[in-house]
Amino acid sequence: MRLRQEQKGFIFLLLILLIIGSVSLVLYFLLEEDPVGEILEQEQVIKLLIVMEDEGEVLFTDVFLYYPLSHVGAMISIPGNTGSIYSSIGRVDRIDRIYSEKGIQVYRSEIEKLIGSSIPFYIVIGLKDLQLITDRLGGMRVLVPSPVDALSPEGKRWLLPSGSILLDGDKLAVYLEYFIEDETDSSAAERRQNVVIALLSALNRNASVIFEKKNFKFYEKKFTSNVNANGLRDLLREISKVDAERIVPQTVTGMRRLVDGNELLFPFYDGQLIKDVVMQTVNSLVSETMTLSGRVYVLEIKNGTTVQGLAHNTAALFRSAGYDILRTLNAASNDIEKTEIIDHIGNAEAAKSLGNFIRCNNIREEDIQLSGDVSDENRNVDFTIILGGDFDGRYVH
């Protein structure tokens, strides 16, 4: 009799434990955080760190900004040789050394400090995994402006045809890794950003298949992220909707200096410029400036002062913010007091955003004759900036 009572007590205790376990499991799934869903519900700009690496070394890093309501995005390249005194490693060095020494979490934290903005999500992709994804998706299409025929330092031959071509995994690795002597840093950064765009486009083309739970398991294992499997699927599905034709490419700009034999890029204005660029880009993504036009504006910059090289240096500022510069030249006079922005296209919102970048409120729309004629000088220019004595090289005072 006593044995039966003990058995009943054991069974009762087991039932209680099963109930507690079941309730805990249900509560876990109910209360599990969904940061991606929260951002989508709140209609916020998604900020994502994308790191491409190979055997623990960074190949390239981009901060991807995306506004879900308009499907407009921007990418900011973080050059691996961006230099500073990094507290995480206690010395002046390249920023990509932080990744190899401290890992992705610390690396993300230092990039957040660099751009002056939090980055809630990160994705790390290994080169070999990218090659597998590329082959699984049937290739990635990129534009190669001119044929590539070069040798790596190890003697490996890089060969690529020109044109809009579909690359398999091996050829995509060549596209990422090759370099030629006369290629600029901005051109190389744009080429690597093109790989990210090609990946997102390929994911979007195959979305109906890839993002099925049973199919996504293959892709889930190819990415390292700080969100769970469901969050990663939601994140990739959403950002793959980006309008590839309207992505604004940007990069950290600065001065190059040799430190202990290494060439480092020190961001302009002690890093304040890139922070301003990121802030302006985020604001532009949620405003009509980018969501309606989806274009890169073309600027003409005139120096109305006696400061040598002012227009040229200012052009570098605006390039870093994603603008195209058609030309820099001297104004008709070199004693202009107030900086002025001339709007040639009648876009007050874009003109205001342009002015905010240098804190210039002196904006006027071009007086076009009733005949509708536009001078040849201004035909290909969206905005003219005439720099005056109130401009200190960064802001208007």
> Rounded CA gap, 177 and 52, in Å?
12
Domains contained in the chain, number: 2
Q: Collect the ranges in the chain with pLDDT lower than 70.
A: 1-13, 21-35, 39-43, 288-294, 368-378
Structural domain for 59, as ranges: 37-288
Domain final residue, candidates 254, 271, 288: 288
pLDDT of residue 280: 87
Residues 300, 278 share a domain: no
Residues 273, 303 share a domain: no
Residues 302, 280 share a domain: no
Domain final residue, candidates 234, 268, 288: 288
Residues 228, 129 share a domain: yes
pLDDT of residue 368: 60
pLDDT of residue 29: 47
pLDDT of residue 109: 97
DSSP 221-252: TTEEESS-HHHHHHHHHHHTTS-GGG-EEEE-
Nearest to 99 by CA among 57, 61, 52, 64: 57
> Rounded CA gap, 124 and 297, in Å?
32
Residues 260, 367 share a domain: no
Question: Tens digits of per-residue pLDDT, 74-110?
Answer: 999 999 999 999 999 999 999 999 999 999 999 999 9
pLDDT of residue 179: 84
| In a domain? residue 43 | yes
pLDDT of residue 30: 42
pLDDT of residue 33: 59
